[in-house]
C-alpha cells in the first residue's frame, strides 16, 4: 500500500503497520488518546490517531498493528483515524517489510570504497588503512546497515553507505576536472571514511533512525576521527620505509583534517574549517549528497496530484519544491479485459 495514494474518507480494513512511535496524550476533556507514527510496508510513514472511545489496549513502539481506519486530513496532512485495532505478536507480521532500506547494492558499494588492494591505489599507508577496515567483518556489516542521520538525510537502513558512495563518486568525478591539483587517493580515503563514526552514532529502532548515547555525547565527527586515528596508530604506522615516516604522519594529519572539517563550519559541527583543496571538495560533496537526497525525498513524498511539496529545510531556508507532472503519483486506472 502506497500511503501517498490514500484519499480522505477512504476506509482501510485489515491493514498492518509497524508502530514507529506511540504517544499517549490527554485531550481538553481529560480523555486519553494515542498519537502514532506508523510505517506502512516499504517504510513510508503516516500519522494515526486512536481516540479514547476506541482504545482497546496498550500500543507501544515496535508493535505490529492491524487496523480498521478511516483516512482523514488534518492541516493538509493525511492521517488515519483508527476505529479498531489488534496488537500483533512478532511472529504475526514481517518487521523487515516495514523498515525502509537503501536501494543500492551495499556489497558492491563497500568493495568500491574499501577494497584498496586494487592497482590504482599506490599510497602504502592509505592502502593499509582502508584494508584494515575492509577486512573487519563487524565494521563492514555495521557500515552497510547503519543510517546516516536521524532526520535530515539518508535516515534509513543502509543510508550511511549510500551517502558515502555518493560523496565518493561526486569527488571522483570532480577530481577529473583538476587532475594535477588534487591528491586523489587522500580525497577518496576521506570520502570513504568521513562518516564512519555514524555506525556508533545512529541505530534503527522500531523502524526509525535515532541517536545512540555515544552519538549524542561525542558526535559522529569525533568518533570517526578517533576510529581512523586508532587504526592508523595500531596497524598502519609501521608500514612503508623508515625514511617516509614524516610523510606518513603528514598523510594521517591531512586525512584527519578532511574528517574533522567536512561539515564546513563550527556552527554546523566542524571543530576546524576546511583548509586544503581535498577537504573543501569533500565538504561540498557531502552537502550536495545530503541536499539532493532531501530534495528527492520531498518529491517522492508529495501528496498525490500535488503541484508543490510540503516545506523542506535546505540551503539555510525552508521552501516548497515544484513537483513535475510526470513525478506526481497518479491514481490507478482500472482497465477492462
Each residue's pLDDT tens digit, 147-171: 998 777 888 889 999 999 999 999 9
Cα 290 from Cα 310, distance rounded (Å): 18
Q: Buried b / exposed e across 209-237, counting CB within 10 Å, b at 16+? A: bebbeebeeebbbbbbbebbeebbeeebe
Q: What is the CATH number of domain 100-295?
A: 1.10.3210
Each residue's pLDDT tens digit, 224-258: 999 999 999 988 766 656 667 788 899 999 999 99
Each residue's pLDDT tens digit, 19-59: 988 999 998 899 999 999 898 988 888 999 999 999 999 99
Which helix (H) or strand (E) covers residue 165, if one does?
helix 159-175
Which helix (H) or strand (E) covers residue 114, if one does?
helix 106-114
Which helix (H) or strand (E) covers residue 193, if one does?
helix 184-193
Mean pLDDT across the stretch 301-305? 75
Q: What is the pTM of this model?
A: 0.81
Whether the pLDDT of residue 208 is over 80: the answer is no
Share of the chain above pLDDT 70, in %: 94
The confidence band for 333, taking pLDDT boundaries of 50, 70 and 90, is very low
Q: In the chain, what are the domain boundaries? A: 3-97, 100-295
Using DSSP bridges, classify how beta strands 45-50 and 77-88 pair: parallel, antiparallel or unpaired.
Answer: parallel
Cα 227 from Cα 217, distance rounded (Å): 16
CATH architecture, range 3-97: Beta Barrel (2.40)
Amino acid at each position: 500500500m502506497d500511503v501517498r495514494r490514500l484519499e480522505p474518507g477512504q476506509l482501510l480494513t485489515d491493514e498492518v503497520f509497524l508502530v514507529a512511535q506511540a504517544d499517549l496524550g490527554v485531550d481538553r476533556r481529560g480523555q486519553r488518546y494515542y498519537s502514532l507514527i506508523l510505517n506502512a510496508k516499504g517504510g513510508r510513514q503516516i500519522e494515526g490517531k486512536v481516540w479514547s472511545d476506541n482504545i482497546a489496549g496498550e500500543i507501544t513502539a515496535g508493535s505490529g498493528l492491524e487496523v480498521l481506519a478511516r483516512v482523514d486530513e488534518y492541516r493538509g496532512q493525511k492521517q488515519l483515524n483508527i476505529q479498531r485495532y489488534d496488537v500483533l505478536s512478532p511472529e504475526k507480521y514481517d518487521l523487515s517489510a516495514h523498515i525502509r532500506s537503501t536501494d543500492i547494492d551495499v556489497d558492491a558499494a563497500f568493495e568500491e570504497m574499501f577494497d584498496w588492494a586494487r592497482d590504482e591505489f599506490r599510497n602504502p599507508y592509505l592502502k593499509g588503512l582502508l584494508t584494515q577496515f575492509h577486512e573487519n567483518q563487524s565494521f563492514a556489516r555495521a557500515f552497510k546497515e547503519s543510517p546516516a542521520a536521524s532526520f535530515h538525510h539518508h535516515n534509513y537502513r543502509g543510508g550511511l553507505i549510500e551517502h558515502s558512495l555518493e560523496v565518493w563518486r561526486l569527488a571522483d568525478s570532480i577530481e577529473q576536472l583538476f587532475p594535477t591539483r588534487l591528491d586523489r587517493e587522500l580525497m577518496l580515503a576521506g570520502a570513504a571514511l568521513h562518516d564512519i563514526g555514524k555506525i556508533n552514532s545512529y541505530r534503527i529502532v522500531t523502524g526509525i533512525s535515532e541517536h545512540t548515547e555515544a552519538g549524542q555525547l561525542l558526535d559522529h565527527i569525533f568518533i570517526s576521527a578517533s576510529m581512523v586515528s586508532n587504526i592508523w596508530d595500531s596497524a598502519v604506522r609501521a608500514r612503508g620505509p623508515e625514511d617516509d615516516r614524516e610523510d606518513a604522519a603528514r598523510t594521517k594529519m591531512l586525512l584527519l583534517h578532511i574528517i574533522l572539517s567536512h561539515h564546513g563550519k563550527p556552527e554546523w559541527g566542524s571543530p576546524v574549517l576546511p583548509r586544503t583543496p581535498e577537504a573543501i571538495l569533500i565538504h561540498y560533496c557531502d552537502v550536495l549528497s545530503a541536499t539532493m537526497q532531501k530534495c528527492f525525498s520531498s518529491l517522492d513524498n508529495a501528496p498525490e496530484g500535488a503541484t508543490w511539496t510540503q516545506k523542506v529545510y535546505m540551503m539555510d531556508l525552508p521552501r516548497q519544491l515544484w513537483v513535475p507532472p510526470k513525478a506526481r503519483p497518479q491514481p490507478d486506472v482500472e482497465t477492462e479485459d
